[in-house]
């Protein structure tokens, strides 16, 4: 495997010219917690002005696309719901394209955003966020018990995971168990494996391809996680750019035990803008 090379003023032009659509992860790339990462607005503006397509691909399923569009707006970025591909949307689309009968019910262990996307797709969701004292895990033991029973007692019951991310970051300082924690709990009590619709699975790619009609070799996935973002880009045949503004450090990238190497890496998204300036 070729080691990843740093993005630089010397190689940025060839990457830029070969790419027609940039796919961005959000957390750790566009924002961190509730703060926009430095230089993002100018970079997105520049990309758009040069005719590049932009799309946001997030594994975080707590929000619907509409809720994400609002978050962008609050941070001063104008993004349409159509430019956002969230794993909550992907979960609803998975049911849609597999002709899940709309009269059946979908039990949700997760956030409001999933319920909203299910409803938009014409499905009935049950469950959803648990009481607030449980915090980020967003689920109670009652939810797990019920979900376990649904899967164990109903042959053919679908078990769909929006993602299996191990941890999330609410702030720079705190690491929290991610959706992979509760997915692991359900696996442990059902002894079944889920269908994953978020990154690194390429399920969402079909929708992206339909939307843009651009070959994946002309797309560049920009993300901060090796095992989701970069793997997703590689699995789909995209170019890949790791930014170090999120969870992955340079020493993790360059550790001999790491076997996921993006094509390029750089500090933050705004470096694209910086390096391209004459």
Q: Which residues are catalytic?
A: 25, 27
Q: Which residue among 75, 137, 157, 244 contacts a second copy (CB under 8 A)? A: 137
Phi, psi of 45 (to 5 degrees): -60, -45
Q: Hey, how many other C-beta atoms are within 10 angstroms of the C-beta on 112?
A: 18
Tell me whether residue 84 or residue 183 sits nearer to a second copy (CB atom): 183
Rounded to 10 degrees, the C-alpha dihedral 237/243/244/249 comes to 0
139 contacts 182 by C-beta, under 8 angstroms:
yes
Nearest distance, CB of residue 198 and a second copy, angstroms? 14
**How long is the chain?**
278
Element at 58 (helix H, strand E):
strand 53-58
Count interface residues toward a second copy (CB under 8 A): 32
Q: How far apart are CA 86 and CA 162, in angstroms?
A: 9
Nearest distance, CB of residue 98 and a second copy, angstroms? 25
- The site string for a second copy over 148-177 (x = CB under 8 A, - otherwise) reads xx--xx----------x-xx-------xxx
199 assigned binding-site residue: yes
Check residue 27 and report its DSSP letter: B
Residue 184 touching a second copy (CB under 8 A) = yes
25 assigned binding-site residue: yes
Q: Hey, how many other C-beta atoms are within 10 angstroms of the C-beta on 235?
A: 15
255 assigned binding-site residue: no
Nearest distance, CB of residue 100 and a second copy, angstroms? 25
Binding residues (CB under 8 A) for a second copy: these are: 134-137, 139-141, 144-145, 148-149, 152-153, 164, 166-167, 175-178, 180-191
């Amino acid at each position: 495997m070729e080691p990843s090379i740093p993005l630089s003023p010397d190689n940025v032009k060839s990457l830029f010219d070969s790419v027609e659509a940039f796919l961005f992860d959000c957390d750790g790339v566009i924002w961190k917690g509730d703060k926009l990462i430095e230089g993002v607005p100018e970079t997105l503006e520049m990309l758009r002005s040069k005719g590049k397509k932009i799309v946001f691909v997030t594994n975080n399923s707590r929000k619907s696309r509409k809720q994400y569009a609002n978050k962008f707006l609050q941070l001063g970025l104008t993004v349409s719901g159509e430019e956002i591909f969230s794993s909550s949307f992907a979960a609803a689309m998975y049911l849609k394209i597999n002709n899940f009968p709309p009269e059946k019910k979908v039990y949700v262990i997760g956030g409001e955003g999933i319920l909203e996307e299910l409803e938009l797709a014409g499905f009935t969701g049950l469950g959803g966020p648990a009481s607030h004292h449980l915090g980020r895990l967003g689920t109670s033991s009652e939810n797990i018990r019920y979900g376990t029973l649904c899967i164990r007692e109903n042959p053919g019951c679908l078990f769909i995971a929006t993602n299996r991310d191990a941890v999330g970051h609410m702030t720079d300082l705190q690491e929290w168990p991610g959706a992979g924690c509760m997915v692991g709990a359900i696996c442990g009590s059902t002894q079944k494996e889920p269908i994953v619709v978020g990154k690194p699975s390429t399920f969402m790619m079909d929708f992206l391809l339909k939307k843009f009609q651009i070959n994946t070799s002309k797309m560049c996935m920009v993300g901060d996680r090796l095992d989701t973002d970069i793997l997703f880009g590689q699995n789909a045949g995209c170019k890949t750019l790791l930014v170090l503004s999120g969870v992955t450090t340079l020493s993790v990238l360059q550790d001999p035990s790491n076997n996921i190497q993006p094509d390029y890496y750089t500090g933050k998204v705004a470096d694209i803008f910086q390096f391209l300036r004459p």
